[in-house]
């Protein structure tokens, strides 16, 4: 069983050195006074919680799973206790508004916590994760009364939240939503319909669950422009804020899944359940999309969390397991064989995991930094600017990092050999748990269409041009490190040129054939992922080079390893960028020509 | 749940058209008289067995798993009945020697059966699969008495076999085997030691189990040159061939695994168990390696079986599930949305599965054709020639096709979206079951070292040169189809040149630094896989082109789809060859430079 240790040193590097979070917090409006020491303190207690509270109930939660009895769901042993500790620690309201009992801190500050919880126990971490979605919806679109009634217990963690979108016949295509909402004389609505795949849709962790539900008003236009958002609490809320009678929303079954067994996935039947409209009628999807970029950062974290936990497991095993001799001669002559970490192919797998974990961490933490401006920027312009950049980056982060998280988990099994396939080793749970990440909250295919179709083509690549300009400027810097940076900047610059040029070409081709978008989208997204991760690895390398020249630096081994990992990334992973680009620019007809009935004979 | 239908039409294409099995059987020594009709008949009854007997107990076998009680293992419900039907059908002895009750048919003829069984129920198919290994060992190395005692019941299927290699501290590195064999006065041995990961090591399918065990004689030299092979039957065999008293080999536990739940994985304790030496002392590994190429074809089949079953599941879903509109306008205007098969990205996933299944099938069936010459070739020269070619191809087939089988299963889940993650859909079982394939019988890393180190470098690339020459010759053919074949032959020829040249370069570099082999091996293997599969796709395309010009051809849709899939393969998958080659030729130091303690801070 991998023993999780929070990667504090690397998080410090990313937050304090690479991205200068302290400087960022000084720049943000509001007097947060968050310096490096506070960041360390937050990380320290987050690590303690993840390592000591969550990690020990990860495997047992997987084995036990959730149980449904008479409409009630029991979470696995220990999950409730962990949740209490979480609430007592004040984690639930870290980034929530102070008015409703939150600490009002920038959301980026909770990212170490999110990543660590995810590594230690992804299933558990989904419960608070879903609540954040509901909270954000109410903060942005709730009436004052709704906020007053629902936010304080959500922020406190006494209540939890869900997002009820999917129905059995529609997931990504929300235009097909059929749940109905009938207005009542008292201003409330009766919600009727069935929702599936509702993460944390029913459980015994909290005294109430606040469902945010997509449904149609009687006079709603068809399609996505006729969907409204409703609050449907599991227990109706009395005027004094306390919990009243049970609402007509029932958990009729829970899914048996490949992984994330500790996180319940519910089928919910709404039978004239009482609901309350949030935001304007028929604008439900727009309301939801206001925070979709931020919630997708949360999804991308799963890739990073997974790469980290899988690396830790594989690394421990590779140091301990002995098999064969190094081809360059015994490294461990007193033992019957060398530890497998001497073998280049094992190192290839470990370094791939490491490059994904650390590269992904830099990407995600930077996106969270930008997201702070989206939620708390001083001016409308600053908020818009952040929104544009996030809009471009989040499908890449969500799509690419979850795909790479799956690859990291796969390598974690492979390093273990046959032992990786055995339950008690814990590596196969990581593999099963992460597999959902490329699916929920929009599959990789959906992220790809969002990126190329909406975020780039509809924008006429304006935001992309800005972003690529930033990378080009970066590649031209470094003063006396210029020569040593070339190994990174030369391939990066080349791919940025290709990105630019190929995007224009695809846009042109798409004018004549709309299928160009769908045909290119997946490989285009993966291409951009490898380039963006390359950008962050080059930035980390530049910083490491500088530190290694600094004679007062006491931690040179860390920076040397950073530089070596950057070098590995460009040598062994970055070449995939070109391959994906080649496929993205492939012939549309190779996908569309075959008649549907000819796929199998 | 995917409904398995044996891909008869494509198998006919591969066996009768592409590889001319009837002609091949005429050429083989022995009067087999196997024509196209017999091939069809064998395929027909194999399909019936797989579809009607094995497929219905696949999901239930996964859910139920194997149970251990007092040293006895119960296989899942229905497995025993299926095994009886299998034995009654004469499948067990199809390729075994007639002298021992077999049908003496060429082994390649049982490949459709193997693939179909694997698609329908991989777990079940492992029981007969393991027996083949034990049978082959005894056929090749047993004494006449041993053959007479063990082969007839094995060939009949009344007894089954295992291979007991792995111990808890060693899998790939058999030099560390510790099990001991002490000679007894009666010529037998007492075997003591513990073996783990023994597939089908204990079960209630057969009345006896014949374990083939690796162990050391008291005077054995250390390392791989001191390992001998022993027969250790679960029940000792009486002189009349009947089953006598229980031997001292006990199943002490069975593994809880991620997948292949219906196939038991046993820990076996040998406590002075009675065993019998097979082959010369200390030559156990050599004896085992006599049929390792053939057994690796059996492993490669898992990639093909999986790609096929996953494709079938995903295709059915993609035709039925409706989401969004085709970007080029509604294809299904009467429904609220189009079936997802209209979306190019869904087609990309399906075509990837299809290209793997059909390309892999051609590769595996051709290897089985060559293997017929290894076991039944007229002359020593013919047998040696086949052995050399198989030696080159099988690590590629085993390594590459199992990796691609995992990818196909992954895409099968992705096409289903959230539903792919749910147990009852059956797609996640495919994904869990296939994950072991890149590990057992030598991980992909081990296959890679075998390919580049042993099969190519130790051979000074002689066999490789022959094989590449064959592809070059192929690329120069086609007469009037030459122009239309260029889209395939041009990239193929280029990669063959790269293969040739890069191999020489790697050999040269490896002279100075042995780590070059380990550093290049994985990507080199994947590179060769994409090129070899490209060769088979080009061959299939050439045949399809010819058929499409033939006015009497009544099945043009099939050949058109074949051509389209070849086109897809070269457009969207073949570009990975160059990427892997780029990585294989990467800097060794990017893997070896990092100090072991610097992989994590």
A418 closest CB neighbour out of B345, B440, B560: B440
pLDDT (tens digit per residue) in B92-106:
999 998 999 999 999
Q: For the residues of A72-91, what is the DSSP string, one character each?
A: EEEPPTTHHHHHHHHHHTT-
CA distance B279 to B302: 30
Q: How far is A267 from chain B (nearest CA, A)?
A: 13
Helix (H), strand (E) at residue B113: helix B111-141
Mean pLDDT along residues A389-397: 97
Please report residues of B whose CB lies closer than 8 A to that of A560: 598
Please report residues of A whose CB lies closer than 8 A to that of B590: 351, 564, 567-568, 571-572
Q: For the residues of A242-279, what is the DSSP string, one character each?
A: -EEEEPSEEEEEE--BSS-TTS-EEEEEEEEEEEEEES
**Angle in degrees, CA A589, A591, A594, rounded to 5:** 85
Please report residues of A whose CB lies closer than 8 A to that of B424: 256
pLDDT at B389 over 90: yes
Nearest CA in chain B to A175: B324
For chain A, which residues make up each domain, given as ranges?
Answer: 8-288, 291-442, 450-591
Contact between A428 and B258 using a beta-carbon 8 Å cutoff: yes
Query: What is the CB neighbour count within 10 angstroms for residue A80?
Result: 15
**In sequence order, which ranges of A35-78 are alpha helices (DSSP H)?**
36-48, 58-64
Contact between A518 and B344 using a beta-carbon 8 Å cutoff: yes
Contact between A445 and B406 using a beta-carbon 8 Å cutoff: no
pLDDT (tens digit per residue) in B288-345:
887 788 889 999 999 999 999 999 999 999 999 999 999 888 998 998 899 999 999 9
Give the model's pLDDT for residue B532. Answer: 98
Please report residues of A whose CB lies closer than 8 A to that of B450: none
Mean pLDDT along residues B348-355: 98
Q: Return the percentage of chain B with pLDDT > 70, whole number.
A: 100
Give the mutation candidate from B589, B590, B595 for the A interface (greatest A CB count, under 10 A): B590
B428 closest CB neighbour out of A258, A323, A410: A258
A343 closest CB neighbour out of B312, B518, B589: B518
pLDDT at B1 over 80: no
Strand A189-199 relative to strand A265-278: parallel, antiparallel, unpaired? antiparallel
Q: Return the percentage of chain B with pLDDT > 90, whole number.
A: 94
Give the model's pLDDT for residue A1. Answer: 66
Of A139, A403, A441, A463, the active-site residue reads A441
pLDDT at A328 over 90: no
CA distance A67 to A203: 9
Please report residues of B whose CB lies closer than 8 A to that of A6: none
Mean pLDDT along residues A550-560: 95
Measure the CA dihedral A222/A223/A224/A226, to 10°.
10
Please, which residues have CB within 8 angstroms of residue A484's CB and are 6 or more apart in sequence? A545
Contact A382, A366 (CB under 8 A): no
Please report residues of A whose CB lies closer than 8 A to that of B313: none
Q: CB contacts < 8 Å between A and B, how many?
A: 293
Please report residues of B whose CB lies closer than 8 A to that of A9: 601
Contact A436, A257 (CB under 8 A): yes
User: Which residue has better confidence, A403 or A481?
Assistant: A403
Q: How far is B132 from chain A (nearest CA, A)?
A: 22
Of B115, B139, B202, B441, the active-site residue reads B441
Banded model confidence at residue B426, pLDDT cuts 50, 70, 90: very high
Q: Look at the domain B291-442 and name its fold.
A: Butyryl-CoA Dehydrogenase, subunit A; domain 3 (1.20.140)
Banded model confidence at residue A289, pLDDT cuts 50, 70, 90: confident
Please report residues of A whose CB lies closer than 8 A to that of B323: 170-173, 176
ipTM value, please give it. Answer: 0.97
Please report residues of B whose CB lies closer than 8 A to that of A256: 422-424
Q: For the residues of B541-601, what is the DSSP string, one character each?
A: HHHHHHHHH-TT-S-HHHHHHHHHHHHHIIIIITHHHHHHHHHHTS-THHHHSS-GGGS--
Give the mutation candidate from A572, A573, A574, A597 for the B interface (greatest B CB count, under 10 A): A572
Please, which residues have CB within 8 angstroms of residue B551's CB and are 6 or more apart in sequence? none
Contact A123, A61 (CB under 8 A): yes
CA distance A177 to A163: 14
Give the mutation candidate from B13, B323, B428 for the A interface (greatest A CB count, under 10 A): B323
Please, which residues have CB within 8 angstroms of residue B467's CB and are 6 or more apart in sequence? B389, B392, B393
Q: How far is A12 from chain B (nearest CA, A)?
A: 11
pLDDT at A23 over 90: yes
B421 closest CB neighbour out of A312, A435, A517: A435
pLDDT at B28 over 80: yes
Banded model confidence at residue B457, pLDDT cuts 50, 70, 90: very high
Contact between B571 and A578 using a beta-carbon 8 Å cutoff: no
pLDDT at B32 over 90: no
Contact between A351 and B324 using a beta-carbon 8 Å cutoff: no
Contact A330, A23 (CB under 8 A): no
Contact B322, B336 (CB under 8 A): yes
Contact B401, B303 (CB under 8 A): yes
B439 closest CB neighbour out of A257, A418, A600: A418
Contact between B445 and A170 using a beta-carbon 8 Å cutoff: no
What DSSP character marks residue A587? -
Backbone angles phi, psi at A278, to 5 degrees: -115, 130
CA distance B599 to B127: 41
Give the mutation candidate from A322, A345, A564 for the B interface (greatest B CB count, under 10 A): A345
CA distance A353 to A303: 10
Please, which residues have CB within 8 angstroms of residue B546's CB and are 6 or more apart in sequence? B481
Contact between A328 and B513 using a beta-carbon 8 Å cutoff: yes
Give the model's pLDDT for residue A327. Answer: 87
B515 closest CB neighbour out of A344, A438, A449: A344
Contact A197, A265 (CB under 8 A): yes
Q: What is the mean pLDDT of chain A?
A: 96
Contact between B257 and A592 using a beta-carbon 8 Å cutoff: no
Please, which residues have CB within 8 angstroms of residue A27's CB and are 6 or more apart in sequence? none
CA distance A522 to B349: 10
Q: What is the mean pLDDT of chain B?
A: 96
Q: How far is A594 from chain B (nearest CA, A)?
A: 7
pLDDT at A294 over 90: no
Q: Return the percentage of chain A with pLDDT > 90, whole number.
A: 94
β-bridge partners, A68:
A73
Please report residues of B whose CB lies closer than 8 A to that of A575: 579, 582-583
pLDDT (tens digit per residue) in B241-276:
999 999 999 999 999 999 999 999 999 999 999 999
Distance, CA of A530 to chain centre: 17
**In sequence order, which ranges of B377-461 are alpha helices (DSSP H)?**
380-416, 427-434, 444-449
Tokens of A594: 């075959």
pLDDT (tens digit per residue) in A561-600:
999 999 999 999 999 999 999 999 999 999 999 999 999 9
Contact between B421 and A436 using a beta-carbon 8 Å cutoff: yes
Contact between A571 and B583 using a beta-carbon 8 Å cutoff: yes
- 3 state DSSP class of B61: helix
Q: Return the percentage of chain A with pLDDT > 70, whole number.
A: 100
- Domain A8-288 coded CATH 2.40.110.20: yes
Contact between A315 and B255 using a beta-carbon 8 Å cutoff: no
Strand B159-164 relative to strand B208-215: parallel, antiparallel, unpaired? parallel
CA distance A481 to A510: 41
Contact between A324 and B413 using a beta-carbon 8 Å cutoff: no
Active site residue B441: yes
CA distance A179 to A167: 8
B345 closest CB neighbour out of A175, A445, A575: A445
Contact A137, A278 (CB under 8 A): yes
CA distances from A427 to A306, A352, A462 (A): 10, 16, 43
Give the model's pLDDT for residue B30. Answer: 83
Give the model's pLDDT for residue A288. Answer: 87
Give the model's pLDDT for residue B45. Answer: 96
Give the model's pLDDT for residue A170. Answer: 92
CA distance A156 to A159: 8
Helix axes of B427-434 and B111-141: crossing angle, nearest 10 degrees: 20
Give the model's pLDDT for residue B478. Answer: 83
CA distance A50 to A473: 39
Mean pLDDT along residues A196-225: 97
pTM comes to 0.98
pLDDT at B517 over 90: yes
Helix axes of A344-376 and A556-568: crossing angle, nearest 10 degrees: 100
Mean pLDDT along residues A417-427: 97
Measure the CA dihedral A480/A482/A483/A484, to 10°.
90
Backbone angles phi, psi at A458, to 5 degrees: -65, -25
Distance, CA of B460 to chain centre: 27
Closest CA to A301 of A512, A490, A488, A126: A126
Contact A113, A94 (CB under 8 A): yes
Nearest CA in chain B to A589: B568
Helix (H), strand (E) at residue B312: helix B292-320
- 3 state DSSP class of B242: coil
Please, which residues have CB within 8 angstroms of residue A7's CB and are 6 or more apart in sequence? A308, A357, A361, B600, B601
pLDDT at B2 over 80: no
pLDDT at B42 over 70: yes
Contact A363, B534 (CB under 8 A): no
CA distance B236 to B574: 53
Contact between B348 and A519 using a beta-carbon 8 Å cutoff: yes
Contact A365, A14 (CB under 8 A): yes
Give the model's pLDDT for residue B31. Answer: 74
Contact between A323 and B432 using a beta-carbon 8 Å cutoff: no
Give the model's pLDDT for residue B153. Answer: 97
Long-range contacts of A28-35 (CB under 8 A, 24+ apart): A28/A106, A28/A372, A28/A373, A28/A376, A29/A376, A29/A377, A29/A378, A30/A104, A30/A376, A32/A105, A32/A106, A34/A105, A34/A106, A34/A109
**Angle in degrees, CA B469, B473, B478, rounded to 5:** 160
pLDDT (tens digit per residue) in A261-271:
999 999 999 99
What DSSP character marks residue B247? P
pLDDT at A418 over 90: yes
Nearest CA in chain A to B589: A568
What DSSP character marks residue B75? P
Please report residues of B whose CB lies closer than 8 A to that of A448: 345
Give the model's pLDDT for residue A93. Answer: 92
CA distance A445 to A427: 27
CA distance A308 to A303: 9
What DSSP character marks residue A58? H
Contact between A514 and B328 using a beta-carbon 8 Å cutoff: yes
pLDDT at A389 over 80: yes
A327 closest CB neighbour out of B173, B435, B515: B515
């Amino acid at each position: 069983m991998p023993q999780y240790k929070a990667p504090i040193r690397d998080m410090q590097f990313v937050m304090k050195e690479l991205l200068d979070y302290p400087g960022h917090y000084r720049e943000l409006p509001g007097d947060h006074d968050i310096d490096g020491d506070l960041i360390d303190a937050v990380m320290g207690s987050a690590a303690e919680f993840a390592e000591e509270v969550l990690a020990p109930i990860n495997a047992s939660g997987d084995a036990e799973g959730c149980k449904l009895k008479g409409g009630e769901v029991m979470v696995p042993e220990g999950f409730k206790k962990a949740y209490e500790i979480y609430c007592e620690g004040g984690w639930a309201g870290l980034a929530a508004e102070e008015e409703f009992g939150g600490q009002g801190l920038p959301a980026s500050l909770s990212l170490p916590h999110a990543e660590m919880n995810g590594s230690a126990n992804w299933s558990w971490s989904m419960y608070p994760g879903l609540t954040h979605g509901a909270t954000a919806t109410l903060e942005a679109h709730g009436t004052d009364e709704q906020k007053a009634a629902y936010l304080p217990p959500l922020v406190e963690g006494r209540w939890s939240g869900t997002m009820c979108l999917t129905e059995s016949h529609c997931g990504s295509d929300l235009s097909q939503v059929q749940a109905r909402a009938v207005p009542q004389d008292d201003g409330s609505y009766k919600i009727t319909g069935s929702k599936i795949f509702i993460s944390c849709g029913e459980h015994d962790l909290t005294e109430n669950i606040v469902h945010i539900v997509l449904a149609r008003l009687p006079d709603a236009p068809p399609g996505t422009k006729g969907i409204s958002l409703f609050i449907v609490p599991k227990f109706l809320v009395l005027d004094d804020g306390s919990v009243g009678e049970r609402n007509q929303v029932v958990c009729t079954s829970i899914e048996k899944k490949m992984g994330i067994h500790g996180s319940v996935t519910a089928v919910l039947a709404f039978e004239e359940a009482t609901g309350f409209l949030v935001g304007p009628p028929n604008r439900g999807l727009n309301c939801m999309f206001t925070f979709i970029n931020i919630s997708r950062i949360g999804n991308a974290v799963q890739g990073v969390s997974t790469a980290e936990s899988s690396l830790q497991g594989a690394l421990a095993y590779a140091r301990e397991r002995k098999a064969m001799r190094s081809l360059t001669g015994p490294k461990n002559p007193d033992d019957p064989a060398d530890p497998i970490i001497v073998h280049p192919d094992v190192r290839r797998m470990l370094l791939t995991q490491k490059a994904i974990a650390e590269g992904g961490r830099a990407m995600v933490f930077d996106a969270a930094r930008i997201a702070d401006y989206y939620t708390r920027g001083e001016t409308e312009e600053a908020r818009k600017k952040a929104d544009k950049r996030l809009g471009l980056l989040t499908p890449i982060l969500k799509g690419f990092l979850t795909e790479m998280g799956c690859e990291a988990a796969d390598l974690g099994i492979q390093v273990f050999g046959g032992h990786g396939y055995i339950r008690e080793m814990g590596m196969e749970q990581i593999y099963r748990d992460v597999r959902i990440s490329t699916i929920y909250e929009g599959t990789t295919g959906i992220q790809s269409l969002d990126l190329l179709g909406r975020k780039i083509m509809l924008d006429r690549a304006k935001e992309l041009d800005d972003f690529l300009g930033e990378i080009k400027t970066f590649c031209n810097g470094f003063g006396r490190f210029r020569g040593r940076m070339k190994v990174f900047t030369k391939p990066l610059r080349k791919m940025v040129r290709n990105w630019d040029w190929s995007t224009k070409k695809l846009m042109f081709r798409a004018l004549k054939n709309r299928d160009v978008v769908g045909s290119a989208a997946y490989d285009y997204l993966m291409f951009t992922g490898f380039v963006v991760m390359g950008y962050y690895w080059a930035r980390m390398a530049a910083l490491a080079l500088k530190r290694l020249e600094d004679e007062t630096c006491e931690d040179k081994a860390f920076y040397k390893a950073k530089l070596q990992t950057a070098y590995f990334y460009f040598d062994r992973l970055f070449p995939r960028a070109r391959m994906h680009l080649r496929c993205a620019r492939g012939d549309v007809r190779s996908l569309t020509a075959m008649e549907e009935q000819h796929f199998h004979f």
